[in-house]
Structure 1
């Protein structure tokens, strides 16, 4: 995919150079040629061609987030002993009969 983009950008660059060095051409015309024939169409083409890849990356990211959410929802996922006293906590007080 990128080989076609690089080749087309080379062709457009040569078109722009020919526009700039021609006796009836101008540098402004070369810049416009480069952007309208090269940069703008190639950004659209690359965006459209990368759509399946972006979709796969998004689904993989969502699956990883879902797995992380499910893993943290399990009891005792913290790795601490259940019912252990925390350091610096207030001792419970019994009610008097």
Structure 2
């Protein structure tokens, strides 16, 4: 799934959870609703959705480090 679609879906989900949290009877209940229904799921989705990109970036950094080690000093 393209990154832009994931971001749009997450923004929509956060909007819905803000509205649900705003209808709670107390401030604490609203905050907990937002964190448990909005914050944590969105963080997990972003973490798993970007794992491939993080893996590629780590491999790229390792390749650059190997090239730096192989390069003769002038």
- TM-score calculated relative to the size of structure 2: 0.87
Q: Distance in 2 between matches of 1:16 and 1:41?
A: 15
- What is the match of residue 81 of structure 1? none
* Higher RCO (CA 8 Å, separation ≥ 6 residues): 2
> Higher helix share goes to which structure?
2
Larger radius of gyration: 1
Q: Distance in 2 between matches of 1:53 and 1:4?
A: 19
> Do structure 1's residue 37 and structure 2's residue 37 form an aligned pair?
yes
- What is the match of residue 8 of structure 1? 13
Tell me the C-alpha RMSD between the 2 structures.
0.9
Unaligned runs of 5+ in 1: 20-24, 79-97
Unaligned runs of 5+ in 2: 1-5
Q: How many pairs were matched up?
A: 69
Q: Report the alpha carbon displacement of residue 64 of structure 1 after superposing the two structures with TM.
A: 0.5
Q: Distance in 1 between matches of 2:53 and 2:70?
A: 26
